[in-house]
Structure 1
Amino acid sequence: MTTVATAHPAAMLRESFIELPARERARSLLDAGSFRELLGPFDKIESPWLPLQGVVCQADDGCVIARGTIDGEPAVVAAIESAFQGGSIGEVSGSKIAAALEMALRDCERGKIVRPVVLFETGGVRLQEANLGLAVIAEIQASIVALRRHVPVVGVIAGMVGCFGGMSLAAALCSYLVVTKQGRLGMNGPEVIEQEAGIEELDASDRRRVWQLIGGEQRAATALADQLVDDDADAVRAAVRSAFTQGLPAAHRSEQVDVFLNRLARIDPASVTPETMHDAYNPHAQNNARKEQA
C-alpha cells in the first residue's frame, strides 16, 4: 500500500510572498482596498534608452509605486519587479523610487507622516543605463537618509534575485530590514565575485555556500538585517507593520560605524566561514573573548 504524504494544513493556507509579482507584493502590504498605483503602466513612462539598444522596454520600467495605508496610516510602497531586466535600476525606475520617497519626505516635513516601504529585488544598476542608474541610486540613498529622520524606512528582501550593488547600500540605510531565508544581500553578487576573483574565492554554483554567506538567515544572524520571516505574505506584512510600531531605532546601522569595524576586525579574511561570522557578530562570543583577554 502506497502512502501519500499530505501538506500540513497551515502550510497550505500560506501565500508565498516570493511568487507574487511586484504589484501584488505592494498590494499585499497595504490595508485591503487602499492600494492606488502612481505612474502605472497606462501612464507609459518607459525607458528611452533600452529601445536604442534593442531591448524591449516595459511600460512601468519594472517598478511599481503604490500609495495606500498600513494599519490606517498613510503609506507608500516602492516595489521592484525582478522579472524585468533582473530588477535592475535605470533612469525611470530609479527616478520613480526617489520621487516617491521625496514626496513622502515633503509630507513628513509638513507634519503628515507617511510610512515608506521599499521592496528590494534587484541586481543593482542597469548596465544599459549605467551612469544614469548610478546617479538615481544616489538620489534614492539620500532620500532614505533624509526620510528616516522623521519615520522608519522599512526595506524587504524576499528573493529570489536578492539585493546587490548600489541598492544593497540603499537597503543598508533603511531603518529596518526584513528578509526571508531565500533572500540574499551583498555588495557584489556571487557571479561577479567568481568572475573577478576566481572560483577559488567563491564558486557561484555552490548554492548552499552562497546562501550560507549572504542569505537572509545569515544576514539576520550577523545584524545586517533585523527580522527573518518565512516566505509567507502574512508574515512579511506583520513584520513590516511591527517595524513601524517600534518607531525609529536608537541608532541606524549606518550610524554604528565603530561597532561594525570592531566586528570586522575579529574576522580573518583568509578564513571566512559562516561560523566565524557568527562568532564575530554574536554578543556572547564577544563577551567571552573579552573575558579571555582579561
Structure 2
Amino acid sequence: MSTSASIHSAPPLRESFIELPARERARWLLDAGSFRELLGPFDRIESPWLPLQGIVCQADDGCVIARGTIDGEPAVIAAIESAFQGGSIGEVSGSKIAAALEMALRDCERGKLVRPVVLFETGGVRLQEANLGLAVIAEIQAAIVALRPHVPVVGVIAGMVGCFGGMSLAAALCSYLIVTKQGRLGMNGPEVIEQEAGIEELDASDRRRVWQLIGGEQRVASALADTLVDDDADAVRAAVHAAFARGVPPAHRSEQVDTFLQRLARIDPASITPETLRDVYNPQGRDASNKEHA
C-alpha cells in the first residue's frame, strides 16, 4: 500500500473533550464564531477568601461563563475549571453560575428562549468558603428547577474530576445529563467514603471498582444519566445538540419520586453490586435500554 493510500485510509483524529480546559470546552460546544465570555479573567472577579488561607486566587475563580448560540439559538454555558482548586464551588464561581442561569431564566420568561448548559467538573463546595459555597449551590439548583419548564437544562460530566457533593444534586436536576465513561457522579467521592466509612466499605485506590460503581457507563445503565458518549469533543457537541432537539422531557428525574422510592426499596444493602443496581434501575435490559451513544 502506498504512503498516500495509508494516509487517506487512516481514521480521522479525535479531539479529547476531557483534555480541553473549561474555556475551550465552552467554545467547542457553541456555534463557530459565537463565543463571548462574560466576567472573564480581565474583569478580575476573584475570591476574597482564598488569600486569607494563603491560596493564590484565579482571576475568573475557576468558572467560565460564555454566551453564544447552539444551532443558531441563543445559549449560555457555565464551564467549571477542574484545574483550579479541583473545580470546587466558592462564593464567586457559584455566583457566576447562578447569575448566568438566572439571566437565562429572565430571558425565557420574556419569551426569548436561551439554551443553558452546565459543564460539571467539581468536587463540590469549596471548604475554604463552605457556608457561602453551599448557599450559592442552592441558588444554582433553584435556577435549574425554574428554567426546566421553559427549556431543557443540559449537564455534561466528562472527567477526570467528576461531579460530587452539592453539585451532584444540581447535575441530577438537569433535564438531560451527558457523561463519558471517564466521568463519575456521586454524592460523596471515593476518598470521602473511605475516610468516613473505612476501606472495607470502599477502597478509593481500586479505580476499576470505583468506576464500576459511579462511572459514566454505570450511571447511564442505572438510569441516573441519559447519554453516554466517547471522549470526543465532536461527540459531546452532537449529544448536547441532540438533547436540546428532544425538548423539555415530560417528567424530570427529580419529579419521579415514587418511582425512585420503589427502586430504592428493592435494593438489598447487604449485597450491592454494579450488576444488581443495573437490574433494579433498568430491569428491561441493563446495558442497552437507556444507553445512548451520540
Shorter-chain TM-score bucket reads: over 0.9
Distance 1:9 1:258, change over 3 A: farther
Corresponding residue number in structure 2 for 1:163:
163
Asked if residue 257 in structure 1 is aligned to residue 257 in structure 2, the reply is: yes
Q: What secondary structure is seen at the aligned counterpart in 2 of 1:151?
A: coil
Corresponding residue number in structure 2 for 1:128:
128
Corresponding residue number in structure 2 for 1:181:
181
Corresponding residue number in structure 2 for 1:233:
233
Q: How many angstroms apart in 2 are the aligned matches of 1:226 and 1:8? A: 35
Q: Give 2:97's aligned amino acid.
A: I
Q: What secondary structure is seen at the aligned counterpart in 1 of 2:111?
A: coil
Q: What whole-Å deviation, never above 9, does each CA across 1:126-174 have from its counterpart, x for those lacking one?
A: 0000000000000000000001110000000000000000000000000
CA displacement at 1:8 relative to structure 2 = 11
Q: How many angstroms apart in 2 are the aligned matches of 1:7 and 1:184? A: 36
Q: How many angstroms apart in 2 are the aligned matches of 1:270 and 1:253? A: 26
Corresponding residue number in structure 2 for 1:223:
223
Q: What whole-Å deviation, never above 9, does each CA across 1:205-251 have from its counterpart, x for those lacking one?
A: 00000000000000000110000000000000000000000000010
Corresponding residue number in structure 2 for 1:291:
none
1:1-294 matches, cutoff 5 A: 12-284=12-284
CA displacement at 1:262 relative to structure 2 = 1.1
Q: What whole-Å deviation, never above 9, does each CA across 1:266-289 have from its counterpart, x for those lacking one?
A: 111111101101111123279xxx
Q: How many angstroms apart in 2 are the aligned matches of 1:57 and 1:143? A: 27
Q: What whole-Å deviation, never above 9, does each CA across 1:56-86 have from its counterpart, x for those lacking one?
A: 0000000000000000000000000000000
Q: Give 1:223's aligned amino acid.
A: A
Q: What whole-Å deviation, never above 9, does each CA across 1:27-53 have from its counterpart, x for those lacking one?
A: 000000000000000000000000011
Distance 1:160 1:285, change over 3 A: closer
CA displacement at 1:10 relative to structure 2 = 6.6
CA displacement at 1:9 relative to structure 2 = 6.5
Matched pairs, number: 281
Distance 1:126 1:71, change over 3 A: same
Distance 1:134 1:30, change over 3 A: same
Q: Give 1:209's aligned amino acid.
A: R
Q: What whole-Å deviation, never above 9, does each CA across 1:73-127 have from its counterpart, x for those lacking one?
A: 0000000000000000000000000000000000000000000000000000000
Overall identity of the aligned pairs, in %: 89
Q: Give 1:192's aligned amino acid.
A: V
Q: How many angstroms apart in 2 are the aligned matches of 1:242 and 1:220? A: 16
Larger CA deviation: 268-277 vs 213-222: 268-277
Distance 1:54 1:147, change over 3 A: same
Q: How many angstroms apart in 1 are the aligned matches of 2:10 and 2:113? A: 36
Q: Give 2:214's aligned amino acid.
A: I
Q: What secondary structure is seen at the aligned counterpart in 1 of 2:269?
A: coil
Distance 1:36 1:278, change over 3 A: same
Q: How many angstroms apart in 2 are the aligned matches of 1:215 and 1:23? A: 24
Gaps of 5+ in 1: 1-5, 287-294
Q: How many angstroms apart in 1 are the aligned matches of 2:12 and 2:281? A: 36
Q: What whole-Å deviation, never above 9, does each CA across 1:182-219 have from its counterpart, x for those lacking one?
A: 00000000000000000000000000000000000000
TM-score of the superposed pair, with normalisation by structure 2:
0.93
Q: What secondary structure is seen at the aligned counterpart in 2 of 1:184?
A: coil
Q: What secondary structure is seen at the aligned counterpart in 2 of 1:283?
A: coil
Distance 1:25 1:258, change over 3 A: same
